[in-house]
Amino acid sequence: MQEKSLLRRSGIFLAFNGVTLFAFTAVLIIPFLYGLFLTFTDWNAISDTFSFVGFQNYAKVFSDKEFLRQFLITFKYVIISALLCNLLAFTLAYFLTSGIRAQNFLRGGFFIPNLIGGIILGYIWKFIFANVLTQVGKAFNIAWLQTSFLTNPDRAIWAMIIVTVWQYAGYLMMIYIAGFVGIPRDVQEAADIDGAHGLRKLWRVTIPMMIPSFNICMFITMSRGFMAYDLNLSLTNGGPYGSTRLAAMHVYQKAFQSKLYGIGQSEAIVLFVVVAILSVTQLLINKKREVEV
- On whether residue 17 sits in a domain, the answer given is no
- On whether residue 30 sits in a domain, the answer given is no
- Three-state SS string over the chain comes to CHHHHHHHHHHHHHHHHHHHHHHHHHHHHHHHHHHHHHCCECCCCCCCCCCECCCHHHHHHHHCHHHHHHHHHHHHHHHHHHHHHHHHHHHHHHHCCCCCCCHHHHHHHHHHHHHCCHHHHHHHHHHHHHHHHHHHHHHCCCHHHCCCHHHCCCCHHHHHHHHHHHHHHHHHHHHHHHHHHCCCHHHHHHHHHCCCCHHHHHHHHHHHHCHHHHHHHHHHHHHHHHCCCHHHHHHCCCCCCCCCCCHHHHHHHHHHHCCCHHHHHHHHHHHHHHHHHHHHHHHHHHHCCCCCC
pLDDT score of 257: 84
pLDDT score of 2: 56
* CATH of residue 199: 1.10.3720.10
- On whether residue 8 sits in a domain, the answer given is no
Q: Give the model confidence (pLDDT) of 52-80 as tens digits.
A: 888 899 998 888 888 889 999 999 999 99
Q: In terms of pLDDT, which residue wins out, 5 or 128?
A: 128
Give the global pTM.
0.86
Domain total for the chain?
1
| Domain of 191, in residue numbers | 56-287
Mean pLDDT (the chain) is 86
